[in-house]
Structure formats: structure tokens, C-alpha cells
């Protein structure tokens, strides 16, 4: 939105999750299988739709984000990626050794392919630097001091965890870590889980 305020012509390409003024590429497919792992096909389908939309609009710069598969179909020299996660070998646990190795290889190619890789956290930045040294860590821009003034004001919960409720998301580990806090906490856990 900041780029639009500065006078740039900005186009968003995203799945339709409801009414929006953002240019959309269609209704989101089912993104997860029966074990709540990501399906590859919806990401590939999304990539084709994004690439077609980018060509149609004639974008000079493209900032790609989740699910990242579109990066392989976008102009190499004009595409920036905002990378929120980098799994590396964890893909083998997630998809199994054969498919996982392929996805791990694709993830490395993706990071090496582009001129600019932007990462919002030092944690992910350190993982990507094992593959490529010139990543740019740019935090999302939320400054903690702006939110501290709300501490204690009519809050219902001390901690909120929002996630898919599957083992690889670390929700159980987060709850274990909260036990280390030396006072009683009100915790909300919000998310979808397998049936």
C-alpha cells in the first residue's frame, strides 16, 4: 500500500478469499492433502496463473511470495522474492525422501535464480545464507514499542498462537516453552486441524 501512496502502479495477484479490489487469479484450490501436507499441484497451477497475469499487466518489477513456484516462470532479472521460510533438508521429512529431495533441490534453485532475495527474519536469513550470501534481511516493519502501550488494556489473552495445527508447525513446542514463564497465562490457540 505504501508504494501506491507514493504514486507507483501496483498490482496484486492472489487467490480470491472473498470480496477484494485486488486483481485475483481465481478461487483457491484445496491446498492440503488428508494428512495436512501441502499439495504440489495447486502451487504449480497458481504459478501458471501468476505468470500469465504478470505478462498481461507488463510488470517491470515483480515481488513474489508464497507459494514461490511462480518464480521459475517469471522474468529472472525483474523478480524479487520475499522469502518467509527456507526448509532445506526438512522437505525430506515432510514429503518423504524421494519427493522431498526434489523439493529441496527446487528450493535451492529458486534462491539462487534471482537477483534479489528479501527475508523478514534473521532466523530464515541465516539458513538461506548457507546457500547464498547476499540476502537482504528486512523486518516486516512492526515496531514492538508501538504495541507495548496496549499491554494490559482489556486483553483477554496473554498469548495467541495462530497456525495450522499439525506437528511440523511447532504448536506443541510453543506451549511447552510457555510453561517456562513463571506466571499463569491465558493462551489462545487458533487454527485448522485434520479431522
Closest by alpha carbon to 90, among 76, 101, 106?
A: 101
CA 155 distance to own-chain centroid: 28
pTM over 0.95: no
Distance CA 72, CA 51 (A): 9
Pairwise CA distance, residues 7 & 27, whole Å: 30
Q: Break the chain into its structural domains and give their ranges.
A: 2-137, 144-190
Per-residue pLDDT tens over the stretch 111-142: 999 889 999 999 999 999 999 999 999 887 76
Least confident stretch, 7-16, 107-116, 126-135, 162-171 = 7-16
Res 9 pLDDT > 90: no
Cα dihedral 23, 74, 10, 24 in deg (nearest 10):
10
Stronger pLDDT, 58 or 108, i.e. the higher one: 108
Give the pLDDT confidence score for residue 131 in this predicted structure: 94
CATH no. for 2-137? 3.40.50.2000
Nearest to 115 by CA among 84, 76, 85: 76
Residue 180 reports pLDDT greater than 90: yes
d(CA 170, CA 172): 5
Average pLDDT, the chain: 85
What local confidence, expressed as pLDDT, does residue 22 receive? Answer: 65
Do 75 and 62 form a contact (C-beta atoms < 8 A)?
A: yes
User: Could you tell me the CA-to-CA distances from 108 to 5, 114, 165, 177 in Å, in that order?
Assistant: 35, 11, 27, 31
**Sign (positive/negative) of CA torsion 175, 177, 183, 185?**
negative
CA–CA gap between residue 177 and residue 147 (Å, rounded):
23
Q: Which of 92-106, 112-126, 141-155, 158-172 has the lowest mean pLDDT?
A: 141-155
Q: In which band, very low, low, confident or very high, does the pLDDT at 72 lie, cut at 50, 70 and 90? A: very high
Side-chain half-sphere CA neighbours of 19 within 13 A: 0
Q: What are the C-alpha distances in Å from 191 to residues 79, 90, 155, 163?
A: 32, 22, 20, 5
Amino acid at each position: 500500500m505504501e508504494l501506491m501512496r507514493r504514486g507507483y502502479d501496483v498490482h496484486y495477484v492472489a487467490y480470491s478469499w472473498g470480496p477484494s479490489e485486488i486483481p485475483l487469479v481465481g478461487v483457491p484450490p484445496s491446498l492440503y492433502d488428508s494428512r495436512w501436507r501441502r499439495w504440489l499441484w495447486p502451487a504449480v497451477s497458481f504459478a501458471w496463473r501468476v505468470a500469465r497475469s504478470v505478462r498481461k499487466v507488463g510488470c517491470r518489477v515483480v515481488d513474489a511470495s508464497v507459494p514461490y513456484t511462480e518464480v521459475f516462470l517469471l522474468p529472472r532479472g525483474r523478480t524479487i522474492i520475499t522469502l518467509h521460510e527456507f526448509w532445506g533438508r526438512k522437505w525430506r521429512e515432510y514429503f518423504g525422501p524421494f519427493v522431498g529431495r526434489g523439493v529441496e533441490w527446487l528450493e535451492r534453485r529458486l534462491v539462487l535464480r534471482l537477483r534479489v532475495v528479501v527475508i523478514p527474519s534473521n532466523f530464515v536469513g541465516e539458513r538461506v545464507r548457507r546457500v547464498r550470501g547476499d540476502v537482504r534481511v528486512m523486518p516486516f516493519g512492526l515496531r514492538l514499542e508501538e504495541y507495548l502501550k496496549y499491554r494490559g488494556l482489556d486483553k483477554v489473552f496473554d498469548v495467541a498462537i495462530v497456525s495450522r495445527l499439525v506437528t511440523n508447525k511447532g504448536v506443541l513446542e510453543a506451549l511447552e516453552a510457555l510453561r517456562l514463564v513463571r506466571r499463569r497465562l491465558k493462551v489462545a490457540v487458533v487454527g485448522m486441524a485434520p479431522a
